[in-house]
Amino acid sequence: MLFFQNRIPAFRTRIGLLAVALQLLFSLGSQAIDPKATGFRAAVVKVDVTPEGHQMLLGYGARRSTGVLDRIYHRITVLDDGKTQFVLVSSDFAVVSPSEYDKVAAKLKSQLGIDPVNFWWTLTHTHSAPEVGPPGLPALFMGDRYQHKFDTDYTDMVEKKLIDGVAEARKKLEPARLGVGWGMAQANINRRAKGVDGKAFLGMDPDGPVDRRIGLIRLDKADGTPMALISNYAIHGTVMGGENLLISGDAPGVVAQYVEEQLGIPLLFINGAAGNIAPIYSQYANHKIGRLHQFKTLLGDKIIAANQSLKATTADISLKTARMIVETPRKADLGWVDDLKDYTRTNKAGVNIVKLPVRFLQINDDIAIWSAPLELFCEISNEVRDRSPFPYTFYFGYGNGWLGYLLTAEEITHGGYEVTVSPYTPAAAKDLTDSVVNHLQGKK
């Protein structure tokens, strides 16, 4: 345009004005007609959040780190179908309070205009990573563990790197394709061992309920070259035990790093309903004699095999998000914590209620993903999957905070550790299952 104007400076005024107008139109509207801004786009970013100094570790009893075994990360993906932009974050931490999620979600809304319904922050549930933010509900059950203040400087860094990572991913959005598939790994086991008296304790139950499916989503670039994997598998991050003082992503982090080294693309490890599921090697005091490395083959190679069997991807992608609040009674005479006042209420009958936020992501007509801030027992997510009309139904656990263990009514009768850190009554499993299934089936 400038070349045209310089060659014919005396062109008639109205034509000149038209040229200026067209130039302005192209300048202001370039993104609207940019082919990269239409159709399905995606991007992924990996951000190191390993602390510089020693930190209080979350998981087991209160203890301070002495070093780093393996580095920990935010892994961030942004999906955009031209109408809906969805942000998924997988971070190598145990849990955060829903109030911490709300704080970060509010910042993303203010700074980047992202609606919280489209921002999911999931945790891999490693028990060897630092605390982030206030304790939230765990302080109600394990008050002795929190006789210290959380590190605000480290929390601020974690928050800033997450927000900056999302902003970076949005800038990197490019045309993409998406595929979905299943895999299977026998890297986990039911951990609710039971004695002859029927009482449960932390151990191994080879005959107990388990979920060994790997749910896999692959993102490719427009030319079919791989961009990233999203892997969904239920496993506690407890290969390393409470005596370990080295920061680690535990099995989820080690597996993610291994797959990334093998395939050359990021892997977002999304934990599932791991409330009663442990790694088959668990709670080692010393990483040198532990079995972290074995999960590279037990689970990492199985993720790679699932990826190899995933043949078809498509650029024709539609994203649809939704949310609901599932209300269920909380245990009688159980208190609450001040920073979670928005997650409870008292009904007209005087019953204290827990308000459970549940999120949904539907991708086209065959993928349904739901998430909740729960340490969910696998029987519940298994039933939801079995009753779902979507052939690919995934549960993304430890999502957007932690509101305790949610057990089946049957398992509550056996007692055990998980019952002591659950705010729910035996009605909760049915309340949650029915609400989620009704939503997936399109019922009100």
Which of 57, 149, 134, 68 shows the shortest CA–CA distance to 94?
57
Q: How many Cβ atoms are within 10 Å of 345's Cβ, its own excluded?
A: 12
Contact assessment for residue 406 and residue 375, using Cβ atoms and an 8 Å cutoff: yes
First to last CA, the chain: 57
CA dist 253 and 69 (Å) reads: 11
Whether 326 contacts 360, CB under 8 Å: no
Would the annotation count 125 as a binding residue? yes
Helix ranges (DSSP H) in 283-416: 295, 301-309, 378-387, 409-412
**Residue that has been written with the tokens 């972290």 in this structure:** 292
Instruction: Pull the structure tokens for residue 87.
Output: 């942000």
Q: What's phi and psi for 365, nearest 5 deg?
A: -105, 5
Residue with tokens 């995934």: 394
| Among the listed residues 167, 133, 137, the one whose alpha carbon sits nearest the alpha carbon of residue 153 | 133
User: Which residue from 148, 158, 14, 97 is spatially nearest to 339, judged by alpha carbons?
Assistant: 97
Distance CA 232, CA 245 (A): 27
Rg (CA), the chain: 24
Q: What does the alpha-carbon distance between residue 84 and residue 81 come to, in Å, rounded to a whole number?
A: 6
User: 250-263 and 301-309 are packed helices; what angle lies between their axes, rounded to 10 degrees?
Assistant: 50
Residue 300 DSSP label: I
Measured in whole angstroms, how far is the alpha carbon of residue 382 from the centre of its chain?
18
Q: Does 236 show up as a binding residue in the annotation?
A: yes
Buried/exposed 163-174: b ≥16 CB within 10 Å, e otherwise: bebbbebbeebe
Give the tokens for residue 125: 């549930």
Question: Residue with structure tokens 């900056």?
Answer: 164
Give the DSSP per-residue string, 234-282.
---B-SB-TT--EE--HHHHHHHHHHHHHHSS-EEEEE-S-TTEEESS-
Residue written as token pair 């499993």: 429
Q: Residues forming the annotated binding site? A: 125, 236
Q: Residues forming the annotated binding site for Zn(2+)? A: 125, 236
